[in-house]
Every structure is written in C-alpha cells, then in structure tokens.
C-alpha cells in the first residue's frame, strides 16, 4: 500500500479568487520544489556515479585476477613440459636429434604449446670432442618442424669463431619456424656465460632473445643423470648431462590471457637470481588503475586499466539521471505553480507530491528501507534519549559481487530485496533497518535496560542470510552469507557509532566472514584489514 495514499485532493472545495500574494506564495513554493528536486537529482546522480565507479573497480580486480590465474596456469603448463623433457633425457642420455624430435612430437610439444617456438637439448662439448661432435651433427642435423631438409647444412662452423676449452652446442631439438633455425655451430656459452652458472646452481635461467624478428623468452633448465640436482657442486658437475632449452613467445600467452579483456594492459615479469625480463602488451594511461599480483617463483603480473567514471558527467547513467531528475523537477515546479494558482485543490496535489519526494529522498528506491540520511537521523534521536542503550549492527553480504558478476544485476537486485525483507522480519517493529548502499545494511536497536542482546540479533541475521534465494524469472538459486559488525553503548556522535560498527565488520571479514564481531576499544583498520592494537579485546563469533 502506498504510504502517501492518504493524501488525496479535496474535490469539494470551490475555486477561490487568485490574489497577487497567492501567486507569489505559489511561485516561491514552485521555486523551492524545483530546487529540492534538482538537489535530489544531483545527489542521486552522484550516488549512481560512485556506485558505477565502485563496480568498475571491482570488475577490474576480478578481471586482473583472471588474467593472473591464466598466466599462472601457462607457467605450470610449461613446467610440465620441462619435467617430461628432463625425464626423457635422463632415460636417454645419448639421445640423437631424431630420437629427441620423435619424443617432442609424441608429446605434442609444438601442437599443444602454441607459445613454444622451439625446444632442444644443449650439451657441453670439450675442445677434444669438437671434431666428433661436428661429424655427428653433420650426419644428423636438427630439422625444423616441417621435417624438410634444412638449407646450408653442409658445414659446421663454430660461432663465434675462436678456440675455447669448451663449447655449448644444440645436440637435438625441434623448431617450429625454419627461419628461426640457428647455425648448428652456435656456441651458446660464448653468448650467455650464465649457462655454466645454471649448471652449478641447478637453477633455470630466463633470458630475452630475438629469433627471426620475434622477441622470445629463452629458458634453460640444467639436467642431471641422477634425475634431481645433487647436493654438492662436484657431484652436480659430474652428473651434468646438458640443458633443456625452450624458446617461448610470451605475447601468445598474454593474448590468450587477455581474451575478453580488450581494455586491459598487462606487464608480465620474471625477476630472480640476476634474471630480470619483462614483456608487455596493451597501452594504459597514467591515471589507470593498477594491480600487481605475485605468481611466485619469480613471476609477477601487473594489470592496468582505466576504470574511473569521471564523476557524474563521465557516467552516462548518472548524467541521464541528473538530466531527467532536473527536468522532472522543473516540470513538477511549473505544474505546481499552474495548479496552485488555477485551483485550490492543487494544494492537495502539492502536498502529495512533496510527501512523495520527501519519502523518496529518505528511503532506498530498491528495497524501500530508510537510506543513509534517514538512518543517521534516527540514530541521532536514539543517542539523544537518556537511559537508552543504543546498538548499531553493520551488515555486509559475503560474495554479493560474485552474484552480480555471475547472474547479472537483476539477480543482485532481487537478492537485495529479499535480504531487506528478511532483516525487517528478524527485528522488532520499533527497531530500524536501513540500507547504506550496495550490499551494506545497518540495524539500529535500542533498549531501556540494555537487554536487547544485539549478538543474538546478529546470529539471526546471519542465519537468515544463508537461506537460498530463487531469482525471479529463471531457474537460478543463489546463496550468500553475511558478516556483521556490532557497536553498543553511548557515543558522542552517530559517525562514531557507525564507524565502530564498521570497524567491527572489517574484523569479522578478516576473521573469515560469515560471522559477527563485537567492537571493543582499540579496534582499527590497517590497509583495509581489521587489526588489534593496545588493549583490544574483540573475538570473532561465527554465526550459529
């Protein structure tokens, strides 16, 4: 039932004569109504812009986590191939180029790993064994993926030239692109001395490399005949078989990770033990939101994206609301003036419309609950009463953002309406239940003797929040939980009361969610996480 239905125009009144004073009075009333309506439109548009901005930032965080997860899986995928290759070499320490290529094809190295440019085995050759190794490679050269005989295989010239006590050559491998086939006599140790360090430390090395105009990531992993790295340096050198070498195109992995995120830029970085390689894709602005996620093992990913809405005028929905609200305020003001000066019964219409606007300004449009403004007003009244114990319960739904992202905002709105009804049914009629915005609610309790037991109320609220909610118009059933922060007792201001309840809510979130926390002096928030300081005595209470 509409609470404004009792305000109806009295049609029995006769039309009085319109005087100049009445015109001025109605003009002033119309101007005031326009001002109030415009202010309401500005506040509503500002709230929408802020809400959209918050949703955009949350969506960015969720997308960044998805990208990081995809890249982490790609790293693990590559590590699986390295483990398999290492096991093959340990089992076949004198493997030929053909046998290695056959193994690589059998595991689908180039077919399953689209970012893989080539994979091979590097071996350490002493100067005395150079002639035999040259003859071996001339007889059995490394071929590209298409298995066609490579050109210019009639010689084996050491690159760079010069006599050295040892060389690092590719003994076997499989290459995707014939253009990327390197000279068979390329001495990798002469180009990258860190290979010997990797042999001695048993750690993989990551280096940027240019193959055929494509920037790749060269990964070398030492292999030992024992299968695992021996514990001593002497043992490692004695058991050393070679390096499993891979050449990857990180841009392929980045493009896969960014599928569905066209506005995001990513910086993929490896930094460990002297290696520092970075690969980037996408372009970000200076004011873009940034989120860095550590993938461990030296890898990290930084995602950037412009998510700021630019306020009311940068948000199409908020701007539309502002324009429509202002236009409606102007129209209502003009209508009030015309009807007020034309007929006396227009007064009833003005009262009705004013009451409706007042109600809308003090209540949440989605749930019908008191909004922040009305909650603060009611809390001030409670605190002003003598002999009354006031309690504030800050309620926040756990996992609500995921519901919005998974089932859409219509499902989220339906869930909020159901939760609002459950909260009202869980408290007394004289208690206040309000919505502060998003999925945040507040419950105000008062008791002359202090026996209202807000902790019991919190348990009821948490229990009710767990009940499944069927989304209207679909077969989806969603389930969430709630975290509750409680502040009880006298306060110098409403801000202090709500702040303490909010701190307790953060403590409940930090303690694992789906529970309530009672505020005690000394509870504060550090970096967005509730923490204890000084003489804090605050214990989490999981919901019953």
Catalytic residue IDs: 439
State the Cα–Cα distance between residues 164 and 326, nearest whole angstrom.
83
Q: Which pair of structure tokens corresponds to residue 435? A: 């919505």
Give φ, ψ of 250 to 5 degrees.
Answer: -60, -25
The DSSP call for residue 178 is G
Closest of 462, 529, 371 to residue 47, by C-alpha = 371
Query: What string of DSSP letters covers 126-152?
Result: EGGGHHHHHHHHHHS---BTT-PPPSS
Number of other CB atoms surrounding residue 318 within 10 Å: 25
Give φ, ψ of 39 to 5 degrees.
Answer: -60, -45
Cβ neighbourhood burial of 27 (10 Å; 0-12, 13-18, 19+): middle
Q: How many helices (H) and strands (E) does the chain have?
A: 15, 19
Asked if 440 and 394 count as a contact pair (C-beta separation under 8 A), the reply is yes
The residues facing 363 across adjacent strands are 370
Report the DSSP pairing between strands 432-437 and 440-447. antiparallel
State the Cα–Cα distance between residues 500 and 442, nearest whole angstrom.
12
Closest of 91, 90, 113, 89 to residue 100, by C-alpha = 89
State the Cα–Cα distance between residues 301 and 291, nearest whole angstrom.
8
Output the CA torsion 337→341→342→347 (10° steps).
Answer: 80
Asked if 329 and 32 count as a contact pair (C-beta separation under 8 A), the reply is no
CA 101 to mean position of chain CA atoms? 42
Helix (H) or strand (E) holding 268, with range, is strand 265-272
């Amino acid at each position: 039932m509409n609470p404004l239905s009792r305000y109806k125009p009295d049609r029995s009144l006769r039309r009085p004569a319109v005087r100049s004073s009445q015109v001025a009075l109605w003009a002033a009333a119309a101007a005031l109504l326009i001002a109030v309506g415009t202010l309401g439109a500005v506040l509503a548009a500002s709230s929408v812009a802020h809400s959209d901005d918050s949703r955009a930032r949350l969506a960015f965080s969720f997308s960044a986590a998805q990208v990081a997860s995809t890249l982490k899986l790609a790293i693990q995928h590559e590590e699986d191939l390295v483990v398999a290759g290492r096991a093959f070499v340990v089992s076949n320490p004198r493997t030929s180029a053909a046998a290695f290529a056959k193994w690589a094809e059998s595991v689908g190295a180039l077919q399953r790993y689209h970012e893989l440019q080539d994979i091979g085995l590097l071996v350490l050759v002493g100067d005395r064994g150079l002639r035999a190794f040259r003859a071996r490679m001339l007889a059995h050269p490394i071929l590209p993926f298409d298995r066609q005989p490579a050109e210019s295989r009639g010689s084996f010239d050491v690159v760079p030239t010069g006599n050295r006590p040892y060389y690092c050559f590719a003994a076997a491998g499989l290459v995707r692109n014939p253009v990327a086939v390197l000279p068979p006599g390329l001495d990798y140790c002469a180009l990258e001395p860190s290979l010997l360090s990797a042999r001695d430390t048993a750690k993989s090395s990551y280096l940027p490399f240019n193959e055929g105009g494509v920037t790749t990531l060269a990964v070398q992993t030492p292999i030992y005949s024992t299968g695992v790295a021996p514990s001593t340096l002497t043992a490692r050198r004695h058991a050393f078989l070679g390096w499993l070498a891979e050449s990857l195109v990180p841009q392929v992995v980045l493009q896969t990770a960014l599928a569905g995120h066209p506005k995001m830029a990513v910086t993929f970085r490896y930094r460990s033990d002297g290696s520092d390689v970075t690969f980037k894709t996408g372009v970000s602005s200076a004011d873009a939101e940034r989120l860095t996620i550590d993938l461990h093992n030296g890898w990290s990913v930084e995602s950037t994206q412009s998510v700021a809405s630019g306020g009311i005028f940068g948000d199409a929905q908020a701007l539309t609301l502002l324009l429509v609200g202002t236009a409606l305020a102007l129209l209502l003001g003009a209508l009030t003036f015309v009807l007020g000066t034309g007929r006396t019964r227009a007064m009833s219409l003005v009262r009705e419309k004013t009451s409706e606007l007042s109600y809308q300004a003090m209540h949440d449009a989605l749930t019908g609950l008191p909004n922040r403004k009305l909650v603060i007003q009611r809390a001030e009244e409670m605190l002003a009463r003598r002999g009354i114990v006031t309690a504030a319960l800050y309620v926040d739904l756990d996992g609500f953002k995921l519901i919005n992202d998974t089932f859409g905002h219509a499902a989220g709105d339906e869930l909020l309406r159901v939760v609002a009804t459950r909260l009202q049914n869980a408290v007394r009629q004289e208690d206040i239940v309000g919505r502060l915005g998003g999925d945040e609610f507040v419950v105000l309790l008062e008791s002359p003797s202090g026996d209202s037991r807000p902790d019991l109320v919190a348990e009821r609220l948490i229990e009710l929040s767990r009940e499944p909610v069927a989304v209207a118009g679909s077969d989806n059933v969603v389930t969430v939980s709630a975290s509750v922060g409680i502040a009880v007792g006298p306060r110098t201001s409403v801000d202090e009361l709500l702040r303490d309840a909010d701190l307790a809510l953060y403590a409940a979130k930090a303690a694992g969610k789906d529970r309530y926390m009672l505020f005690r002096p000394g509870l504060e928030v550090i970096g967005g996480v509730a923490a204890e300081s000084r003489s804090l005595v605050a214990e989490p209470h999981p919901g019953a």
